[in-house]
Every structure is written in structure tokens, then in C-alpha cells.
Homo-oligomer: A and B are copies of this chain.
Amino acid sequence: MAERILLRVPPGDAPGSTILVGDDALDSFSRNEEIGPWLEGRTAFFLSSAKIRSLQGERLTALRSRAGTPVDLEVIDGEAAKRIAQAEPLWEEMLSSGGKRDSRLVTFGGGSVGDLGGFVAGTFLRGIEYAQVPTTLLAQVDAALGGKTAVDLEGGKNTVGLFHHPRLVISDTRVLATLPKGELRSGLVEVVKMGALLDFELFERVESDLDRLLDAESGDFPATMAPVVASAARAKCGVVEEDPTEKGRRRVLNFGHTLAHALEKVLRYDHLRHGEAVGYGLLFALRLSRRLGLLDEASDAAGALDRRMARLLRRFDLPSLRDLRPELGDDPVDALAEAMARDKKATEEGILWCLARGPEREALDVRIPPADVRRELAAFLDDPWGSDIL
């Protein structure tokens, strides 16, 4: 079974995205009649990496067979794929193999393949339609949804790109079964983030099902994961529809990401997966929320949001921040504060924080004096789990 979620953006313009989530989404949709007009008779580019093709390539067979002229494009694996130098040969190959304005592109991979593929599709002949077939949990619940595409510069990640919504997102939870546990955990942190501020039932589902959601070898896994992916996708789509280009409400998705991006950058994108960094970012955002008196202590019988978050994330077994301390340099507070100030989401007027008041209650665009942030950061690095304030 596959669940269908519609994302309509931007208002009055493009047809938006159709998102299909399920434990056999690829097969059932590839047999579907509506895929015909989108693929049949057309040149379609299938972008993937050698590793993904060898692990999961056969899952794409049914979809690929519907294209008029399928053309395989290959990129290197991981974040290194997200460079202009990787995009350029793809555009040239698309042009020389007959790509036209009504050709299609299908990405098959994790967030990096999707980000690169969306950027390439969004700029080839000023934009061709494309589909995302995400193969990581992080990509299924976050990266593949909402139209953000990007490549990296020397000076920063995701600094060159555009908004270009995929016409289709096919999130098949069976392809997640070959992921390492760290990848599942990393994706589930993003689910927890969305659950906390957008759908608290989803947060509670992760609390109760965490062990089964991390057991990819169980036969039930694709079916257990499917409703979690679907709820996260619905939560994200709701926010994106409201604010497709992140001028306002969409910033709620940045919860936990201000510190996370800085941590990743200072650690040179090593040592922590994105979702693991977001885990620490969530703890820090909740620390700031408490310090500013934003958190509603009594909102929930099970305790305030920061305590519940800390209890849940404890079970994720994140790499220890204390162990990573040497990697953060001589003055970690300085390095992280500097990286946050240069974050691409910072404006000329400084960092706009997304903090929390309680379950499903965000506090957007909070400005905090830099000295206060540095003081909290120092305390946080000594005790990220907040036993000093909880």
C-alpha cells in the first residue's frame, strides 16, 4: 500500500508535488496509469551512484521501464557529489543525449543525489520536471520534500541552488532496509524535530516504537516505518505549502539546525551525521528556550518539552560530544559562534533562532544577544544533556 500526499506550491503556479509513501510505493506506482503521460515516450535521465545502484538498483526497474528513452547518469557517492564540477558533465551529457524541455530526470539516492539532481533538473534548459526516489530515511522525511536543491561551495554547504519542486516523490520504505543503524537514527532525529513542533503524536510514536524503527532486519520494518515517514512528510508539506520559499513559517523546520550546521562545519563534516548534529542542535535550542523563559513548564503531564526531548535522544546513542571536544579546536565556543554567524540563514541583522514554547508551539525569529549565546554554548559543551538546568 502507498499513501498519497499532495504538496501544492507555489500558490497559483506549478502543479506541486505528489508524494507516495509506502512499503511497496515503487512497484505499485510504477504499474500505475498516471505515470504514463509523465514518462512514456520521453527521454528520462536516471541519476544515481554506483553504490546505490548495486544495493537497490533493481527496485527502480519497473519505473525505468516506463520511460521512452531511459538514460543512466552516475555521480560519486555522498556529499562530494554536490559540487558544480559534478553538475557540469551531467548537463553536458543530458544535452548531448538529446535532453529537451519536456525530458524528465529521476534521482535515486540519498540527500546528496537528490540535492544535486534537483539542482541539475532545475537549471537544465531553465528547468525540467523531475522525480525524487529517496533511498535514505533522512531524504524520505526531509531532503526530498519541499523543493530545496543545492550544491556546495568551498565557503559553505548548500550555498548555490534554487527552489525546484519535484513533480513526484516516491518514498518506498523497503529501500531503507539496507541502511546502517546510524543512518536510521540520523533520519529519526529529523522526524523527532518535526514531531516536536508540528505533530506531537508523531513524536510520541517514535518514543513508543523506537526499538522497532531501528530494527531494519525485521520483516515488519518497512510496514512499521511507512506511517512514520508518511506523518513526517505530511508535517513538512503542511509547513512548506504555507511558506514555500522560507520567508516565514517554514523557518520552523530550522529548529535545531543553527547549532547543527555550525557543529558540522567546525567538524569538517566528519564525526557526526547530519541528524546526529541536529540532535545536539535540538538540545541546545531547547536550552535557549528554557533560559529565555519561553518553555511552558506545565504544558504536558509527561514533563516539559526539553526534558522529554533529552530522555528520547538519550536512547539514540549519539556520538559523545565530550569525545569530540578535541576536534572542535582550542576555542570551541568561538569557532561555533563564528560558524553560526556565517550560516547562510543569518540575515544582515544576525541570527534568527527557531525555539520552542512547548509541543507544537514554536517561537520563530528570536534574536539573542551574541554574548548570551556564547555563555549558553560554553555551558552546553560541558553538559549537553542539561543536567545543570533540568
Contacts and interface: CB of A to CB of B under 8 A. Distances in A.
A13 B102 CA distance: 24
A161 B163 CA distance: 13
Contacts of A117: none
A154 B43 CA distance: 20
A155 to B, nearest CB: 4
Contact of A12 (B12, B95, B101, B160): B12
A153 interface: yes
A160 B41 contact: no
A347 B101 contact: yes
A62 interface: no
B88 A84 contact: yes
Q: What's the interface size class on A, roughly?
A: 35 or more
Given A91-B159, A123-B161, A126-B162, A100 B346 contact: yes
A92 B154 contact: yes
A123 B160 contact: yes
A150 B101 CA distance: 15
A355 to B, nearest CB: 20
Contacts of A68: 348
Given A13-B10, A92-B153, A95-B155, A348 B127 contact: no
A95 B153 CA distance: 9
Contact of A42 (B10, B11, B126, B348): B348
Interface string A136-178: 0000000000001010011110011111000000000000000
Nearest to A147: B126
A378 interface: no
Interface string A314-348: 00000000000000000000000000000011111
A222 interface: no
A32 interface: no
Given A84-B88, A91-B153, A159 B346 contact: no
Interface of A: 10-13, 41-43, 68, 84, 87-88, 91-92, 95-96, 100-103, 122-127, 148, 150, 153-156, 159-163, 245, 344-348
Nearest first, the 8 A-B pairs at minimum CB distance are: A95-B155, A12-B12, A11-B12, A126-B161, A123-B160, A125-B344, A102-B347, A10-B13
